Structure 1
Amino acid sequence: QDQWAVLIAGSKSYFNYRHQADVCHAYKVLTERGFDPDKIITMIFDDVANSTSNPFPGRLYNHPAKHEADAVDVYAGCKKDYTGLSITPERFLAVLSGNASFAGGKVLKSTSKDHVFVNFVDHGGVGLIAFPTLGQVLHSKRLVETLKGMHQKGMYKKLVFYLETCESGSMFQGLLPPELPVYAVTAANAKESSWGYYCMPKNDTVKGKHMGTCLGDLFSIAWMEDSDRGQLATESLQEQVRRVTARTTKSHVTTFGDTSFEQENIGRFEFAAL
């Protein structure tokens, strides 16, 4: 059994700093605990770390910090498989589906024995999630049909999908059949916003400098800082969702799909295989 992951930020610009910082933090969460980097596919526009608006060129921070010792640069070592205008709905679906000829780069090569973890962070609306190019969106039915097709092709035994967008619950509500071995966790229900975190004017300071933006998103920060606790061998998916739900106070974390494996530990999806 192998583990695979797809991590994607669907936005661009310094204003959306938090999305790319979230994804690079997620990459760090996985790789620092033994997840094979060759089995992680990342998609970020990559225009934030070296933006002229960034007080720390070439660095991304997902957490405020007073001192250098506390400032964790999540951009360091953050591998980028797809950047810039290559990040489109079609390419994201091609990566998930293992369609290398269309994607033009690294894609999932998982099997029916494997666990797959997908983390998408960006803006969204009812029934859709957004991508960097204005007007490019992915609708809920198309995403769910892709997840069904992946299973029919034997591309996963179990799949966990963490989705951070506004109205993110609408991407799965009433669409994700419980018999499909997909466990989806959304930052918000189908009708509400998700929220940035570590935001200006008071909570965006790194080493004495105001970043002028949000460093992360509330749901994303909640699950990653929980994973950073290192309880990979004992904490279940259900327990992580409980902890994340308790911390995500401005929206309703919602779960969809197959709950039969929510008692499995998070290490089977987010860390090295246990």
Structure 2
Amino acid sequence: MRSGSRGARAAPIAALLALALASALLPPPRAEAAGTGARGARRAAAAAAAPPGSHTSNWAVLVCTSAYWYNYRHMANTLSIYRTVRRLGVPDSNIILMLADDVACNARNPHPAQARDAWGERSWGVAAERVFNEERHSLDVYGRDVEVDYRGYEVTVENFMRVLTGRHDPAVPRAKRMLSDAGSNVLIYITGHGGNEFIKFQDQQELMAGDVADAVAQMHQKGRYKELLLVVETCQASTLYSRIKSPGVLAMASSLKGESSYSYLTDYDVGLSLVDRFTFATLDFFEKVDAHSAATLGELFSVYRFEQMDSHFGFSAENFHRPLDAVRVTDFFGHVTEVRQLAGSYPYAGDAADGGGGSGGSGSEESSGGGSSSSSGGSGSGDGPAAGAAPAPAAAGVKGRLSGGPAEGGGEWGAPMDALTLGGIAGLIALVAGASLAWGGGADAS
């Protein structure tokens, strides 16, 4: 019995040794923090060397601070701006969308969610929620491809401040973070109910003008933007940015102090207004803008008229260093793509199934806002690698696929692992585990 208990005690020890051995041999995980590694250093260097007026990425934070059915238009405002920046090239990975998300499937909505297939026909598939911003109902601004990052009770003043300043709990996923840097142009759009130097968050909290100024100041100190455009659609909207003193900030508002911001028309089918006047004028302007447009913010500002909005358009450019006629609207509502030419060649080992063809040559690394990169070499044929490129050994391709990192060593993953190394680890673990079981089992049998 003593020998049996000795074997039982030895089994956990052997298992722990096996786990320790495996953890020592496995490569370290990839760092997820923004701005770390060689890529982060390249971004910082590019931002520092960029001439005035140029930027390396675009980010958008779109916030609907209202909730409940009677604030339908505020949700439509936010989704309409979301559709605009998406159409002009900003990817979902660079958009933080904060939305109560309680209108599309509301029981009072005469146009509830309908299941549709990829061609827009009704089907038994996933239901697509429906929200419209004009009385003809020709455009559903919600649809199935909207990615809401913060919804319902998550839309709070605290979460909004954390998104701007980057002060998140480690458990917050990457998709809910704004990973901007000193080369990023940032668009912040806020709509809801407000007053003198405040805007309400779902009738429970208030975001003050001082809070906004503090958040922007922290963003400047931490290098989280190059230029920032703040757009506010609420009553007395201009007071929300009145305390901002940070450089590189341009702000625009639907109304001045003491003025209300009004809705646009009423849809008698829905029973509510579908959009606000300021946002409607903004959308009407952007209908004529594409990703390559030369339209400027000066032209955009000229479309806001008191006769149309019943309020005076306001803006603040005292902290902005460029003339408005030199700032394209796509500098904030669009997206910039950075392409860098890489020296050398990118090795590729063709699979046996495609005849063992290879490709090589100089490639380019393309970074779109969020920092995703891809490398592409010159095209090759099935006869072998392209002229001038050294043939890549098959083991390099195996290593790249097994490690999940680059085919060559020294990347963010550390040294890659081949099939032999993985097999050796598995064999050692099995050997130690088998020996411990045999020892414990034999002792119990005796």
Q: TM-score, normalised by structure 1?
A: 0.89
Structure 2 counterpart of 1:164? 233
Q: In the alignment, is residue 97 of structure 1 matched against residue 165 of structure 2? A: yes
Tell whether the 8 Å contact from 1:176 to 1:256 is kept in structure 2 after alignment: no
Cα shift readout 1:171-194 (whole Å, capped 9, x = no counterpart): 123x222x6111000110021111
**Match of residue 214, structure 1, among 270, 273, 278:** 273
Structure 1 counterpart of 2:224? 155
Q: In the alignment, is residue 25 of structure 1 matched against residue 85 of structure 2? A: no
**Match of residue 234, structure 1, among 289, 294, 298:** 294
Instruction: Find the aligned partners of 2:235 and 2:106 in 1 and give their Cα distance.
Output: 25
Give the 3-state SS of the residue equivalent to 1:115 in structure 2.
Answer: strand
Instruction: Find the aligned partners of 2:327 and 2:301 in 1 and give their Cα distance.
Output: 12
Moved more, 104-113 or 140-149: 104-113
Tell whether the 8 Å contact from 2:67 to 2:100 is kept in structure 1 after alignment: yes
Structure 2 unmatched ranges of 5 or more = 1-55, 113-128, 338-446
Instruction: Find the aligned partners of 1:113 and 1:71 in 2 and give their Cα distance.
Output: 38
Q: In the alignment, is residue 120 of structure 1 matched against residue 180 of structure 2? A: no
Structure with a larger share of its residues in helix: 2
Instruction: Find the aligned partners of 1:112 and 1:4 in 2 and give their Cα distance.
Output: 12
Instruction: Find the aligned partners of 1:21 and 1:10 in 2 and give their Cα distance.
Output: 12
Tell whether the 8 Å contact from 2:101 to 2:152 is kept in structure 1 after alignment: yes
Instruction: Find the aligned partners of 1:30 and 1:103 in 2 and give their Cα distance.
Output: 28
Structure 2 counterpart of 1:272? 335
Distance 1:88 1:264, change over 3 A: same
Q: In the alignment, is residue 131 of structure 1 matched against residue 131 of structure 2? A: no
Tell whether the 8 Å contact from 1:94 to 1:103 is kept in structure 2 after alignment: no
Task: Give the AA of the match of 1:192.
Answer: E
Instruction: Find the aligned partners of 1:190 and 1:103 in 2 and give their Cα distance.
Output: 40
The count of residues paired between Structure 1 and Structure 2 equals: 259
Cα shift readout 1:165-217 (whole Å, capped 9, x = no counterpart): 101111123x222x611100011002111111132xxxx15xxxx11111001
Give the 3-state SS of the residue equivalent to 1:226 in structure 2.
Answer: helix
For the pair shown, the structure with the greater C-alpha radius of gyration is 2
Q: In the alignment, is residue 225 of structure 1 matched against residue 296 of structure 2? A: no
**Match of residue 140, structure 1, among 198, 205, 209:** 209
Tell whether the 8 Å contact from 2:261 to 2:311 is kept in structure 1 after alignment: yes
- How high is the sequence identity, in percent, across the aligned residues? 29
**Match of residue 135, structure 2, among 37, 41, 64:** 64
Instruction: Find the aligned partners of 2:97 and 2:90 in 1 and give their Cα distance.
Output: 14
Task: Give how far 1:247 is off.
Answer: 6.6
Q: In the alignment, is residue 88 of structure 1 matched against residue 156 of structure 2? A: yes
Q: In the alignment, is residue 194 of structure 1 matched against residue 255 of structure 2? A: no
Instruction: Find the aligned partners of 1:104 and 1:82 in 2 and give their Cα distance.
Output: 11
Task: Give the AA of the match of 2:271.
Answer: G
**Match of residue 177, structure 2, among 88, 91, 107:** 107
Tell whether the 8 Å contact from 2:187 to 2:229 is kept in structure 1 after alignment: yes
Task: Give the AA of the match of 2:263.
Answer: G
Give the 3-state SS of the residue equivalent to 2:232 in structure 1.
Answer: strand
Tell whether the 8 Å contact from 2:247 to 2:320 is kept in structure 1 after alignment: no
Q: In the alignment, is residue 256 of structure 1 matched against residue 319 of structure 2? A: no
Question: What's the Cα RMSD here?
Answer: 1.8
Structure 2 counterpart of 1:75? 142
Instruction: Find the aligned partners of 2:311 and 2:263 in 1 and give their Cα distance.
Output: 11
Q: TM-score, normalised by structure 2?
A: 0.56
Task: Give how far 1:35 is off.
Answer: 1.1
Instruction: Find the aligned partners of 1:153 and 1:223 in 2 and give their Cα distance.
Output: 31
Structure with larger RCO (C-alpha < 8 A, sep 6+) = 1
Task: Give how far 1:225 is off.
Answer: 2.1
Structure 1 unmatched ranges of 5 or more = none
Task: Give the AA of the match of 2:299.
Answer: E
